[in-house]
Each structure stands twice: as structure tokens, then as C-alpha cells.
């Protein structure tokens, strides 16, 4: 199944951008973590951010989430500028952070009720249970977050990010630590969400995941965009590149392109 082709329900009209990033600069002191990055994400589209550690992926997400103030550039979520209208912009977001973070003493049911409520989505006990069942955690509804395994915590974090059906989901390495079954289930959930019109920004170190999920990729290196395009386009575009030929074992793959563009082949 090609999971990258999604039809937005009730589609026909051109998809609206749910994220617009223009000339984004994020700096920590004198270090530019993100340097003049621009891209957009439309409703019903998955954009994968690829890059080695320190490439600026999480900094871009932090700027969209409003957690760091950009030094320059513009970020708008569903048409709302994150600096001018932070509440309106955040109301459109669903966020899964790289390091899952919830109150350890609350049960899963309490956490889902709380975070759905903070996004304006009032859930009764049945709604909470239904949500937990969807990610296979229904049986653990009364267990505390601190008692879950890493994979279970990831699934809960994803549910908390998506339960209010946001316009834009930011998923920072969502499958890290998941077993293959859970990873596939999560891919299916993301596909379902995208089919209902949510735009997704996904960071990952897995080329398999990027190729399976993303309709477009943005390859970052040292805070700058090195290349953008569909996985197939990127391979076709760079397959004759000497750097790619050097690292490829046979037919060039997306991973070969990634390694060549991000300097991984030299290390």
C-alpha cells in the first residue's frame, strides 16, 4: 500500500496551507540552529524533516510551537501568526514532543481528559476510554503514566497530541523506541489522520518511515535546507551526484542521498 497518497475527505478544492514558514532563523546565542528556512505544509499532507542530530529539526518545531522566539522570519499555523496570535495558533496544533512528558502521578484517563480539555475538547469517560482503546491502552486507563513502558508512553503521547483532531500535527521522532507492530499501527493512525485533512510535520531518523509516510521531504543540514521534494524525486534528482554514487551500494536509495547531502558519508 502506498501510504503517501492521501485524499482529503470532501476534497476537490485545493488544500489550504496549515503551516507556512518563511525565512525562519532560530539562534541560541551566536549559534544559528535554523538559518533562513522556508517551507509550507498543506492540509492532508505529511512533510518529513530529515537531518542528522543538531540539524535544526527540533528547533524548527519549537519555533512553530512557540517555545522559542525566532530571531527572524515568519511562522503561521492555519493562517495565524504564532507571534501575533499565539493562542489561536496553538489551538490548531497537536504536539508530540521528542521526549514524552506528562505528570507521572496521573492516570492515563486523567491525562487524556486534561490535555483534551486544555485544547477545548471536552471528553466524558466513554470518550476517554474510546480514545485509549484506539491506541491499545484501554486496559491501562487507570494506570499511572510513570508505570508505562516507553512504547506505551509514546502511544499515549500520540493520542494526547491528536485527540482534538488538530489542523497541524507536529510529531518529533514519534516512533523512537516502538516495536515494529506499534510502529506500523502508528503509521496507520497518522495515515488516517491525514486522510481527514490534518497536515503533519514529522521528524525522523528512519528513511523507511520517511519514505512510507511523507509526501514531501525537507533535508536539513546545519540549520539550512539542503533539498526538498518527494522521496522519489530526491533519489531521481541526486542519483548521478558523485557524493551519492560514492556512498551507494548499487542503486542509490533515499538513505544514500541523505548521507551525501548531510555529510554523513564523510564521517
Partner 1 sequence: MREAVGSRQVPSAGQALGLMASAELAAMAHNRRSLLWTTAVPVAILVLGASQLHPGTPHRAIWSIVALASMIGAFVLGLLGYATDLVGYRERGVFRRLRTTPVPASLILVVRALTALLAILIQFLVVVAVAAFAYHVHPTMGRLAGGIAVVALGGLSALALAQLIVARTARAQSATALARMALMVSLFMTGVLLRLSAWPAFWRHVADWTPVRLAGALLGATLLGQPWSTADWQHAAGLGGWILVAGFVGVAAFRWEGADGSS
Nearer to partner 1, 113 or 183 (CB): 113
Q: Does 118 bind partner 1 (CB under 8 A)?
A: yes
User: Which among 1-9, 34-42, 101-109, 173-181 is the span making contact with partner 1, rule CB under 8 A?
Assistant: 101-109
Map residue 226 onto helix, strand or coil: strand
Is 153 one of the binding residues for partner 1 (CB under 8 A)?
Answer: no
93 scored as a contact of partner 1 (CB under 8 A) = yes
CB of 36 to partner 1, least distance (A): 23
Is residue 16 near partner 1 by the rule CB under 8 A?
Answer: no
Please report whether residue 164 would count as binding partner 1 according to CB under 8 A.
yes
Quote the cell numbers at residue 47. Answer: 512533510
Q: Is residue 106 near partner 1 by the rule CB under 8 A? A: yes
Task: Supply the minimum distance, in Å, between the C-beta of residue 110 and partner 1.
Answer: 5
d(CA 35, CA 14): 30
Q: The C-alpha cell of 55 is what?
A: 540539524
- Phi, psi torsion values for 93, nearest 5 degrees: -100, 150
Region label for 176, one of left (φ > 0), alpha (ψ between -120 and 50) or beta (otherwise): beta
Q: What is the 3-state composition of the chain as percent helix, strand, coil, each rounded to the nearest 5?
A: 40, 25, 35
Which residues inside 215-244 make contact with partner 1, applying CB under 8 A?
none
Cβ proximity to partner 1, 117 vs 263, nearer residue: 117
Cell of 11: 476534497
**Residue 159 burial (CB count, 10 A):** 24
Q: With binding defined as CB under 8 A, does residue 92 bind partner 1? A: yes
203 binds partner 1 (CB under 8 A): no
Number of residues that bind partner 1 (CB under 8 A): 35
Cell of 209: 518511515
- The residues that bridge with 216 in the sheet, in sequence order, are 47
Give residues in contact with partner 1 (CB under 8 A): 65-67, 86-88, 90-93, 95, 97, 99-107, 110-111, 113-115, 117-121, 144, 164-165, 167
Amino acid at each position: 500500500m502506498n501510504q503517501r497518497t492521501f485524499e482529503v475527505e470532501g476534497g476537490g478544492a485545493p488544500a489550504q496551507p496549515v503551516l507556512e514558514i518563511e525565512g525562519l532563523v532560530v539562534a541560541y546565542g551566536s549559534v544559528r540552529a535554523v538559518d533562513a528556512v522556508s517551507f509550507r505544509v498543506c492540509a492532508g499532507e505529511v512533510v518529513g524533516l530529515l537531518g542528522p542530530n543538531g540539524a535544526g529539526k527540533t528547533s524548527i518545531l519549537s519555533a512553530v510551537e512557540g517555545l522559542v522566539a525566532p530571531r527572524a522570519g515568519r511562522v503561521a499555523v492555519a493562517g495565524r501568526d504564532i507571534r501575533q496570535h499565539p493562542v489561536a495558533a496553538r489551538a490548531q496544533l497537536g504536539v508530540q514532543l521528542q521526549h514524552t512528558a506528562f505528570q507521572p502521578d496521573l492516570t492515563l484517563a486523567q491525562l487524556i481528559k486534561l490535555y483534551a480539555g486544555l485544547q477545548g475538547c471536552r471528553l466524558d469517560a466513554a470518550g476517554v476510554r474510546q480514545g485509549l482503546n484506539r491506541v491499545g491502552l484501554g486496559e491501562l486507563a487507570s494506570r499511572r503514566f510513570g508505570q508505562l513502558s516507553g512504547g506505551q508512553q509514546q502511544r499515549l503521547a500520540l493520542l494526547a497530541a491528536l485527540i482534538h483532531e488538530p489542523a497541524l500535527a507536529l510529531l518529533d521522532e514519534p516512533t523512537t523506541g516502538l516495536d515494529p507492530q506499534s510502529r506500523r499501527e502508528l503509521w496507520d493512525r497518522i495515515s488516517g489522520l491525514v486522510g481527514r485533512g490534518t497536515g503533519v510535520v514529522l521528524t525522523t531518523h528512519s528513511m523507511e518511515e520517511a519514505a512510507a509516510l511523507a509526501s514531501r521531504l525537507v533535508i536539513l543540514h546545519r540549520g539550512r535546507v539542503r533539498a526538498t521534494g518527494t522521496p522519489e524525486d530526491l533519489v531521481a534528482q541526486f542519483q548521478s551526484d558523485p557524493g551519492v554514487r560514492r556512498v551507494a551500494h548499487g542503486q542509490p536509495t533515499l538513505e544514500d542521498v541523505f548521507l551525501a547531502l548531510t555529510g554523513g558519508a564523510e564521517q
